[in-house]
Structure 1
C-alpha cells in the first residue's frame, strides 16, 4: 500500500508543461493567420470564380 500512496502522490504532483502548450497554440494560430493573409485573396478569387460558374448556368 505504501507504493500505491507514493505513486498517487507523484501523479498529483505532476503538472505538465502548460507554458509549452500555450506557446505551441500561439505559434499555430500565428501560422494560420500568416498563411491566411497570403492565401486569402487567392482563395477568395477561386471561390468567386466557382460561384460565377455555378450561377452562370
Structure 2
C-alpha cells in the first residue's frame, strides 16, 4: 500500500512541474488543427472525385 501512496505523491509532484499552455495557446492550436483538417479533407475529396471520374471513363 505504501508503494501506491508513494507513486501517487510522485505523480502529483511531476504534474506540478508541468508548464500548462495558456488558453490563447490552446485556442490557436485548435484553429490550426481545424483549418488543416478542412484543407486535407478538401484535397482528398477532390482527389476522390477525379479518381472516380477516371474509373467511370475506363469502365
TM-score between both structures, scaled by the size of structure 1:
0.49
TM-score between both structures, scaled by the size of structure 2:
0.48
